[in-house]
Amino acid sequence: MRLQPDEDALEFAAAVRDLLSQTCDAQALRAAWDSVGQGASGRDDGRVPGLWKRLADMGVAGLVVPEELGGAGLDLTGALPVFVEAGRAALPEPVVGTSVGAALLTQAGGAVAHEWLPRVAAGEAVLALADGHDALVVGGQWADLFLLGDNDGVRAVARDDVDVDSAPSIDPGLGLARVRVHAGAGAPVDNADGRRAFDWACVAVAGELVGLARAMLDRAVGYAKVREQFGKPIGSFQAVKHQLADVFVATSFAAPVVNRAAWSVAHDLPTRSRDASHAKYAAGRAAAQAARTALQVHAGIGYTYENDLHMWLKRTWSLASQWGTTDWHKDRIARELLGG
């Protein structure tokens, strides 16, 4: 069994990383955050101008859209490295939400999928998911189609049939919004498997958290090399070395757990839900440890808005609560293992 993404997936992710290093560095990310509330409609709040189109041209928007509908046709194992790079860059674009929605529509098939998936692959439509018809939705400010789940299944609702109000967030790059659906609006998405979509989202976000942990570790190591105390770089002190090494170990252990979960979800294995929760738990713990350590290494300057670190910290804290907290997933793992 091969759990590591294949070479093609890794090479594609490397190309995405190169693009993001040029277009979504700390300066561009800060400008995107500072743009919130400046536009008339809010549709572009918190985003890097033109970046979504460039990502779509590369094939990122249509990662999991079937090839016959214009996409790359990847499963979760092939798409996962891109999510890691999205986390590494604290990307303020709806890559995960759109990919999870596309995966759900691909699995369900039907008229809604055939109408919307070609638009997704072309970068002309953004998808967002939510639980209920009056909910806070990540990416809701930017979405063109909402996939809303409740006890009756999943409904696809176009933007014209919802009221969208921007919601405050510590992370403006999430596009958080309150979405209220008009009475009777939308079309049912038959055969949609909401539980599998939930597991898909958990693993995708876990991939982002692994990328975030790596980025914060890199920043902490870089700062520890140049910040001096008592005439020496603080990275030469054993106490600092140990903390950074612990983050490296935690992240290194989390990454294969996430790879395993991606395989389980992609192949719909009986352990799918347990493995997805294990991924979210392990990656969430590693990212939280990376955030604490990076903040401590940077000391007082790490708390300030002027320091770039805060954008990665806030994305980590935001993702930690999305699609279930670490405590919730720990309980879910226990229930799966104990059969209760």
Whole-angstrom distance, CA of residue 78 vs CA of residue 296: 35
Mean pLDDT, residues 127-149? 87
Edge-to-edge strand order for the sheet containing 127-131? Answer: 127-131, 145-150, 153-158, 187-188
Is residue 97's pLDDT more than 60? yes
Tens digit of pLDDT for each residue in 11-22? 999 999 999 999
Tens digit of pLDDT for each residue in 281-336? 999 999 999 999 999 999 878 888 889 999 999 999 999 989 999 999 999 999 98
The architecture that CATH gives domain 194-338 is Up-down Bundle (1.20)
What's the CATH code, domain 7-188? 1.10.540.10
Is residue 235's pLDDT more than 80? no
- Write down the mean pLDDT value for the chain: 91
Where residue 124 falls among pLDDT bands split at 50, 70, 90? Answer: very high
The predicted pLDDT at position 115 comes to 94
Length reported for the chain: 340
The predicted pLDDT at position 40 comes to 47
Among left, alpha and beta (phi > 0; psi -120 to 50; other), residue 306 is alpha
Tens digit of pLDDT for each residue in 143-193? 999 998 877 788 999 999 999 988 888 998 899 999 998 888 888 898 888
Q: Kindly tell me the burial class for residue 242, based on how many C-beta atoms sit within 10 Å of its own C-beta (0-12, 13-18, 19 or more).
A: exposed
Domain boundaries, the chain: 7-188, 194-338
Where residue 37 falls among pLDDT bands split at 50, 70, 90? Answer: low
**Intra-chain end-to-end CA distance of the chain, in Å:** 29
